[in-house]
Amino acid sequence: MKMAKENNVKLHGMWASPYVKRVEIALKIKGIPYEFVEEDLVNKSQLLLQYNPVHKKVPVLIHNGKPICESLVILEYIDETWKNGPPLLPQDPYKRAKVRFWTSFVEKELFENLLLVARSEGEAQEKAIKVVFEKLQLLEEGLKDLFQGETYHIDGETMGILDIVLCSLFGAHEAQEEVLGVKFIDPEKFPLVCSWVTALTEVTAVKELRPPHEKLVAVLQFIRQRALQASAA
């Protein structure tokens, strides 16, 4: 039956990957049923290498046999293909540009630098922490503009691309604080960012998809130890 074929969605991913989490949240928000295929990133399946020969990474969304790679590309694809669920992007081109701008900012400026904090120590880490605080300050300023009037708002259970990406980064902020000993989501320094992240972690789809705190702590500790050992070698 045609309906069944159109709904054939598989997601190749890994439980701890924030990039994969983005796609899972989007699929849940849109109410799209999917099959999750857990990949061992140390021992990648033939199928993954076939579906993503360029980057060989997760997430990969397979829709009716056709692979789509790169989480942000996947999110836009989901939004354009399943128009029945809540929209992940606004309709207006200028609002879309703003959302894409801040999504790109979170992806390039915050994600990268937070990873650096996790993978370094001493002076290098101090420097990286400083950069994250600077970028958070820019985001805080940007939110004042973004949240003005009708440009943007957190609407109960609805999430858009920017919400999803920010949540995929700072949803695990408690685990990050525990492992790194730094409080980034600070209500005094960044009240807008903090209240936004807090609201996002309460969304049902996010709660249902969040791995247990101990597991997140363990994975972050593992990433950190491995990186520190590699740089000491």
Partner 1 sequence: MEEVKLLGFWASPFSDRVIWVLKLKGVNYEYVEEDPYNKTQLLLQRNPVHKKVPVLIHGGKSIAESSIILEYIEETWPQNPLLPQDAYQRAMARFWIKFGEEKMATICAVFRTAGAEQEKAIEEATELLKIMEEKGLGDKKFFGGDAIGLVDIAFGWLACLYEVVEKVSAVKVLDADTFPQLHAWIQNLKVVPVIKENLPDHQKMVGHLKRRRETHLALPNCHN
Q: Which residues of the shown chain bind partner 1 in the complex (CB under 8 A)?
A: 53-54, 63, 66, 68-70, 72-74, 76-77, 80-81, 93-94, 96-97, 100-101, 104-105, 138, 141-142
Return the number of the residue (38 or 134) whose C-beta is nearest partner 1: 134
Q: How far is the CB of 149 from partner 1 (least distance, A)?
A: 14
Q: How far is the CB of 98 from partner 1 (least distance, A)?
A: 8
Dist CA 65 CA 9 (whole Å): 8
Measured CA angle at 31 (ends 10, 155), to 5 deg = 130
Dist CA 51 CA 60 (whole Å): 7
Q: How far is the CB of 182 from partner 1 (least distance, A)?
A: 23
Amino acid (1-letter code) at residue 200: L
Q: How far is the CB of 53 from partner 1 (least distance, A)?
A: 7
Alpha helices in 147-211 (DSSP H): 161-170, 173-180, 191-201, 204-209
Q: Please, is 94 exposed, middle or buried when counting C-beta atoms within 10 Å of its C-beta (0-12, 13-18, 19+)? A: exposed
Return the number of the residue (72 or 228) whose C-beta is nearest partner 1: 72
Return the number of the residue (68 or 200) whose C-beta is nearest partner 1: 68
Return the number of the residue (29 or 60) whose C-beta is nearest partner 1: 60
